[in-house]
Structure 1
Amino acid sequence: MSVQLRAIAIYSHEGERREVRFNLGCLNIVTGGSKTGKSALLDIVDYCWGRDECTIPRGIIRQSVSWFAILLDRDGEGVLIARRNPTGSAKVSDEIYIQRGIDDLPADTASLSKNVTADGLRSHLSKLLGISENLYQPEASATRLPLEASAGHAILFALQFQYEIAHPRLLFHRQSDPYVPAAIKDTLPYFLGAMEDDHFLKLKRYEEARARLRKLEREFAEARALSDEAKGTALNLATEARRHNLIVADVLPDSIPELRALLATAAADNNSPTTIVDDPTADLSDLEERRREVRSQLQGVREDINDLQRLQREATEFEREATEQRARLSAIGLVSSEATAHDLCPLCDSHLATPVPSVEELERSLRGLESQLQAVGRDTPRLQGRFRELELERDRMEDELRSVQRDIGQRISENERLRVEQAQFTERARVRGRIGYYLENVQAVTSNDGLRLAIARTGAEVEELAKAIDQEAMEERLATALGLISRDLTRFAAALELEHGENALRLDRKNLTVVADTIDGPLPLTQIGSGENWVGYHIAAHLALHRLFRARKRPVPAFLMMDQPSQAHYPREADIGEIAGTDDEDQLAVARLFRLLFDFAEELTPRMQIIVTDHVELIKDWFHSSIAEKWRDGIKFVPANWLR
């Protein structure tokens, strides 16, 4: 399964398209002056591949572009991936569009809208590459978690940014990012083919078989332990069963068969509590509610009695005072009713300072008072009758309250009895369960041929699966793969005439670097000087890796993108245009480098695509035939008419 790049495109805010197209299965060169946007091609591929950060520099491109897009080729099928340019201060956009079975880039952005998440995109890419279910288990002493190789890891072997390709300490893309070095180390065995495609399936089967074996062995050990302690365990269980009234024997038998028979009887006893109440607190709540009602009613009757008693006291007081007043008014009979002067004393006819009531007025008051006394006398028997009724009602309700109180006390006692009874029933059930477990395991041990056979079969399955996923065998396959890479690495270094290229070279997986094994000892890349060597060994290592990837048809992108590989000889700022490639040592070195890339792609065509962005332009036919685009004389990635 091969995934290569057909094109990279950008779209303006008005929907205009600018694309760079590439040929499949060969070397593609985008050459041109500095600051024309060549390096952004790698950033766009990285961003559209699902990276969680847009590394395209903020400048003309970010200001002029609305969408970035790449058109992949998967064994002849076109796959479009477009991603919106982040706006404002955002580091990334979640607007991603993917479409399979497409022939060409869309002419504008009208059809581009979000139809997948970043996680979904990475999952799609893993399927496109053909990454099977996998899981790398680090060594037991490692603290990092198991890791599954994905498309996000595969792209790390396909990109070499300008600052990476000439870095003595960074061999792979994003190697300086947190956790990325460990991810490269852990996924490299899978991508190199040292870990078989069905390794994860075998690993899951192995773990499941081991779990089954541990369970069977645990059951057998428990059963044997029960058998070894059969009599002591049986006596303890029988004693406990007798304490909970599951056994009524006064004396327990000594023989194990008799004890087991007695325990079997106890285990079969399923007596339940004599009384089962779904909710013992329900009746108690009803009684407490009735008590509150009776207390409330009794309080009302008592208040009525108090009101009636107060009324009687007031009537008695009124009657006493009215009687005294009547006695005083009765004296009017001694005075003549003919006296009309109200300012004369009726006894001595002397003048009074304050006039007194007339005899008629006094008599009228006396009659009114006598009428009131008669009314009070009539109401007194009725009040006494009502008082007696209320007293009887009070006595009745007090009796009812005492009855409810007794019922509440009885219910509380009954609930406590039920609680104790339920606890006893639960404890008896627990003891019966222990007895049943003991009897089952004793029976299993006495006839354990089936269990022994299951353990033997499962153990054999575990051994067979352990051989299939043998870590040592995987390490051997990994060593073989690294040996093949070292062979090609040495050959490519010799073709580039790199320093120490005459020595045996190898890819150091532990430290992620290139090492030259010299007579004086190993030399890592950091100890090999000059930018030419750093760039050369980066290219040699990646070509060696991709040669193995393609030979073993591994799920890694079948393209390698590099930015500015000539920088060790011609700095980015020095745009020298066309060179012959034969005039001096620098030109010869650059010519060797590009010729190696050209020959490598030709050798593996159509299975390998190489894309290089550089300002160097060799005056060679093979070089010119590899130029995808030339950005000079005002031609840049972003068209001038987009700069509004």
Structure 2
Amino acid sequence: MNRWNIQEIAFYGIGDRRRTLKFDIGKVNVITGASGTGKSAIIDAIDYCLGSKECKLPFFVRNHAEAVAVHWVQGSRDLIVGRKIPKAGSGTSQMYVRTGRHLKLPAASAGLEGPTNRDVARALIEKAFGIQDAEDPVISLKSEKGRATVRDIPPYLFLSGDVIVSRETLLHDLNRPKKAPDIKATIPYFLGAVDQASVLAARVLRQLEAALTKIEREAAAKARSQSLLTERSMALLTQAQEIGLVVELPSPSAPDAVLLDQLAGVAGRGVASTDMRDSEARAVLEEDRRTIVSELQTLRGKRQMLRQTIRDAAGYETAVSAQSHKLRLVDHMKLDDGRCPVCESQNDVGQAMAEKIRSSLSIITREALAVDGIRPHLNDHFEEIESLIASKYNRLREIEAQLSGLVRVGEELGTLGSILQERARVVGRIDQFLETTAKDFQVASTDTAMLVSRIEDLKEQVDPQARRERLRDAENMVSAFATEMLTDLPTEVPATGSRVVFSSTPSLSLVEPSRRAVLAMAEIGSDQNYLAIHLALSFSLQKLFETIKAPVPGLLVIDQISRPYYPKGGDEKRLQEMEKDDDQVAMKQIVRFLFDETARQTGLQVILIEHAYIEEDPEYVAAVKGRWTKASGEKLIPSDWPVRN
């Protein structure tokens, strides 16, 4: 056996009491009985020992059992996972994990070995199952979107009571808002679309991209600071020129170091400089201001046109993408068999129609690729325009500051009446600026060339196009498996004869055979149909996992396949208690499917929790591991167990 199965589940009570459930490896195992005997708690126990944060075990179990342990086996390998049961509240943090060969469950909870905390326990289970995408155990313990953990495998192991006939929920826990994002994020990993290396590369890529974003954000802040330094330096130099301390203003594009050196020269010479005022300085600045205002108007017009172009491209891309997704269903229309896709007859008109459909698909594909290629260039050009506008605004502020300085100097000269006094004031301002403000803006630049190069290398390694192709291949495989399995299960119109279309979003739809209408889950109707669909999907996913050697145990725990045929609650049911003969036939067909499909898949184990006891089927009777009926008084937790203190 090359997949993990469950050999035993043990519940421990006080006084060294132990209740053990034993299961056959690679086969169907059945536990039947009355409601309220604790059958459904088997799912809760397995989930709890897979490191769930919550403990969903029912009150009676919590009140009488102090620990639970699950014994997993894979060939000669053993994995025993135990956990203390709280009397109330969330799950306990203490767990027990032991791996090895020829291990056995202890007789009492005190014998559980390998005590550890929940996070480390989960990491050890992941290592045993093969859910490893990082060698660093510290990294593997971190919770990160897109990283698969042992908490992401229950949707593929359990067909619980709230899912098995649901018209809305496709997988276990998918209806829980806190769990759904993790299921959707990790399903590509379990479907084999990404491997361990690409998962790690994607994680490092996200970290480096975040680091680059931070550096760029800090660089932008520094650039703003440098712009302010330039603005203030030019304003002081303009004032110095106006009162004859500077012969000629430097270029506004001069490096800050040049500006600071010139200011230092003015401060060093003091007030003894010769009057070198340039009466045309204000006129030149006014002309520069008019030019920049005109350029800003032109750039803003270009930005508005480019923003509209990007918006139109995005809308077109969305429309093309939606149309492409709809036309994916044409993959199931067998356009290459030479028959008309509408009437299925063999004729030239049908072949021509099929050719037109293929041509349409090709056109849509090319248009989608064209949009994908144009969008980055549009975005880059938009960013260039934004950068130019920001640069022009910065220069405009510098000019206005210089003009304000000239005006202020003129006013102050009229008030002070002394050129020497004004020179002394300007030199004082420059000294204070150089001693305090300028030092705050002196920052070192960061070279991001190596970081950018590393990011580009990782993008090539992650290869999103190859990921999409592998994901689509897995979707097609599951769809084909499920379509074939659906024919072996009892269904009603419109599910009868329909093709299954599975998507990793995850979602599922049917293409009904008469009109080839595409039906969402909510449109299908009938508990019997929903039961068949969930069974077909669960077994199909397990078949894919077996094929691609995914790190998912070969286990399906199914809570009551007889839900569409028996009323809720009550004692163990017999086949003859079904009101309709058709229901009895359907029930037998489902049971046959379970045994036959389990036998066809290597290493698959099924634990069936049922009300029905089908004594007419010898294989079913042989698979029964417990009959917890009202007459026998047998339960998951014996009634004579004492209450915990």
Q: Hey, what does 2:29 align to over in structure 1? A: 28
- Map of 2:382 onto structure 1: none
Separation of aligned partners in 2, 1:181 and 1:469: 24
Is the 8 Å Cα contact of residues 478 and 502 (structure 2) preserved in structure 1? Answer: yes
1:69 is the counterpart of 2:57: no
Cα distance change of structure 1 residues 8 and 579 upon mapping to structure 2, 3 Å threshold = farther
**Cα gap change, 1:123/1:520 in structure 2, threshold over 3 Å: closer, same or farther?**
same
Give the equivalent residue in structure 1 for 2:497: 502
CA distance in 2, matches of 1:574, 1:111: 36
Any conservation in 2 of the 1:535–1:565 contact (CA below 8 Å)?
Answer: yes
Are 1:171 and 2:170 counterparts? yes
Q: Report Cα offsets for 1:488-526 as digits up to 9, x if no partner.
A: 111111111423241221224446444345525222232
Alpha-carbon distance in 1 for matches of 2:217, 2:175: 48
Aligned ranges 1:539-578 → 2 under 5 Å: 539-571=535-567, 572-573=569-570, 575-577=572-574
Alignment of 1:48-197 (within 5 A): 48-59=49-60, 61-74=61-74, 76-87=76-87, 89-101=88-100, 103-112=103-112, 115-133=115-133, 146-197=145-196
Distance in 1, matches of 2:202 and 2:8, equals 40
CA gap 1:494/1:176 in 2 versus in 1, 3 angstroms: same
CA contact (8 A) 2:250 2:259 kept: no
Distance 1:183 1:545 in 2: 18
2:613 to 606, 616, 635: 616
The code of the aligned residue for 1:488 comes to F
- Indicate which of 456, 481, 485 corresponds to 2:478: 485
Q: How does 1:3-22 map to 2 (within 5 A)?
A: 3-22=4-23
Indicate if the aligned counterparts of 1:591 and 1:618 stay in contact, CA closer than 8 A: no
Q: What TM-score results when the alignment is normalised by the length of structure 1?
A: 0.60
Match of 1:587 in 2: 584
Shift of 1:461: 5.5
Question: Match of 2:30, SS?
Answer: strand
Counterparts of 2:75 and 2:428, CA distance in 1: 73
- Which one of 471, 494, 497 corresponds to residue 464 of structure 2? 471
Unmatched tracts of structure 1, length 5 or more: 135-144, 226-231, 244-248, 272-420, 445-450
What letter corresponds to residue 104 of structure 1 in structure 2?
A: K
Write the deviation string for residues 537-585 of structure 1: whole angstroms up to 9, x where unpaired. Answer: 111111111111121121223211011112222345363347799x943
Q: CA deviation at 1:8?
A: 0.9
Over residues 40-93 of structure 1, what are the superposed CA-to-partner deviations in whole Å (9 max), with x where a residue is unaligned? 21121122222233322223x343322222112255332222223322x43544
Matches within 5 A, 1:178-577: 178-207=177-206, 236=234, 239=237, 427-428=433-434, 462-499=455-492, 500-510=495-505, 512-517=507-512, 519=515, 521-571=517-567, 572-573=569-570, 575-577=572-574
Closer, same or farther: CA 609–426 of 1 in aligned 2, 3 Å = farther
Q: Deviations over 1:599-618 (max 9, x none)?
A: 22222223x22111113334
Residues 514 and 254 (structure 1 numbering): CA distance in 2 closer, same or farther, change over 3 Å? closer
Q: Residue 121 of structure 1 aligns to which amino acid in structure 2? A: A
Shift of 1:426: 7.8
Query: 1:56 & 1:224 partners in 2: Cα distance?
Result: 59
Please say if residues 240 and 246 of structure 2, whose CA atoms lie closer than 8 Å, have aligned partners that are also in contact: no
CA distance in 1, matches of 2:4, 2:240: 77
1:88-130 Cα offsets, whole Å, 9 max, x none, are x435444433333371111112234893333333333333322
Change (3 A) 1:27 1:115: same
- Post-superposition Cα deviations, 1:231-281, rounded to whole Å, max 9, x if no partner, equal x999959959999xxxxx976689999x9999879999xx9xxxxxxxxxx
Hey, what's the Cα distance between the residues in 1 that align with 2:639 and 2:223?
86
Return the offset for 1:150. Answer: 1.5
Shift of 1:431: 8.3
Instruction: Tell me, in whole angstroms, the C-alpha distance in 2 between the residues paired with 1:509 and 1:599.
Output: 27
Q: Which amino acid aligns with 1:181?
A: A
- The equivalent of 1:283 in structure 2 is none
Cα distance in structure 1, aligned partners of 2:617 and 2:537? 26
Change beyond 3 A, Cα 1:549–1:253: same
Give the Cα–Cα distance (whole angstroms) in 2 for the partners of residues 512 and 619 of structure 1.
37
Is the contact between residue 266 and residue 432 of structure 1 (CA under 8 Å) also seen in structure 2? no
Instruction: Quote the Cα distance in structure 1 between the aligned partners of 2:536 and 2:50.
Output: 25
Q: Which amino acid in structure 2 is aligned with residue 167 of structure 1?
A: S
Contact 2:23–2:625 (8 Å) recurs in 1: yes
User: For 1:577 and 1:215, how far apart are their aligned partners in 2?
Assistant: 67
Aligned-pair CA distance for 1:216: 10
Counterpart position of 2:599: 602
The answer to whether the 8 Å contact 1:95/1:113 transfers is no
Q: Secondary structure at the match of 1:164?
A: coil
**Structure 1 residues 594 and 525: CA distance shift in structure 2, 3 A:** same
The one-letter code matched in structure 1 to 2:534 is: H
8 Å CA contact 1:30, 1:612 repeated in 2:
yes
**Alpha carbons of structure 1 residues 254 and 496: separation in structure 2 relative to 1, 3 Å:** closer
Determine helix, strand or coil for the equivalent of 2:487: helix
Q: Distance in 2 between matches of 1:262 and 1:236?
A: 7
Q: 1:205 to 1:241 in 2, by over 3 A?
A: farther
Cα 1:470–1:241, aligned 2, differ >3 Å: closer, same or farther? farther
Q: Which residue matches 1:627?
A: 624
Question: Taking structure 1 as reference, are residues 32 and 427 closer, same or farther at Cα in structure 2, changes over 3 Å only?
Answer: same
Give the letter aligned to residue 485 of structure 1: V
Q: 1:221 to 1:16 in 2, by over 3 A?
A: closer
8 Å contact from structure 1 (residues 155, 556) kept in 2 = no
Taking a change above 3 Å as real, the CA distance of residues 11 and 146 of structure 1, as seen in their structure-2 partners, is closer
| Cα pair distance change 1:112/1:507, threshold 3 Å | same
CA RMSD after TM alignment: 4.8
Check conservation: 1:579, 1:619, Cα contact below 8 A. no
SS in structure 2 of the partner of residue 495 of structure 1 = coil
> What secondary structure sits across from 1:53 in the alignment?
coil
Q: Is the 8 A contact 2:575 2:584 kept in 1?
A: no
Residues 428-470 of structure 1: CA deviation (Å, up to 9, x unaligned): 4668869998xx99xx9xxxxxx9xx95x87665444333324
Paired residues of 1:237 and 1:435 also in contact (CA < 8 A): no
Bigger-Rg structure (1/2): 1
CA distance in structure 2 between the aligned counterparts of 1:150 and 1:185, rounded to whole angstroms? 13
Give the alignment's TM-score, normalised by structure 2: 0.60
